[in-house]
Amino acid sequence: MICVSLSDLGQLDRAVAAGIELVELRLDLLREDPEKLYRHIPDHVRSIATCRPGNYTDDKRLALLSSCLSLGAAYVDVEIESQEDYLQALTGAAHSNNAGVIVSYHNFENTPDRNELEGVMLACYEKGGDVAKIATRVVVREDLVSLLGLYNFPGRKVIIGMGPEGKITRVAALYLGAEFTFASLEQGGETAPGQLSLNQLKNIYKAIDTP
């Protein structure tokens, strides 16, 4: 499944019109009230509620994400480095609303070695993640091997290589067992380095899957 990451309300409306099944709501970028957002999301469209640090206090982020969960979010994405009380509050809110928890690790500088990545993925589960998400910048080809090798381990996961050299991981993810892969709705609307657009991914999959 392709998850389209959204950063403004207009994108949300266009994604719904395009028949997208799963959207990531970047609340730190959308800057909209959750109740307003969910009025634009039909019941058949699932959502991931995400609010990265920086634009809001942790208390405000907790309130926004908890509101999304009460409004029907399918997942909440919580950063692995979050304070324990913050993480536990969101984990509890997610499970009380029958939603899943994604515990995510981001490294925008490089990709740690294989042993460290394995430890990070294990920590995502230990901190309450139903899904482990690991996103690191790919610098050398060996980084791709380290990242994609994580699919050999049990557990629900999404493994992403960021930057131009990591694009192949976004394509390969669905063939290797990822819960989903991320795309922007259109070129120019990327929310992470190296993110492909929805049309780019669809065309690639069509070419691969055509006999």
Q: What are the catalytic residues?
A: 106, 133
* 3-class state of residue 46 by DSSP: strand
Supply angle C-alpha 25, 53, 193, rounded to 5: 65
CA nearest to 49, candidates 10, 1, 12: 12
| Element of type H or E holding 159 | strand 156-162
Count other C-beta atoms under 10 Å from residue 98's C-beta: 9
CA nearest to 72, candidates 117, 40, 115: 40
| Element of type H or E holding 166 | none
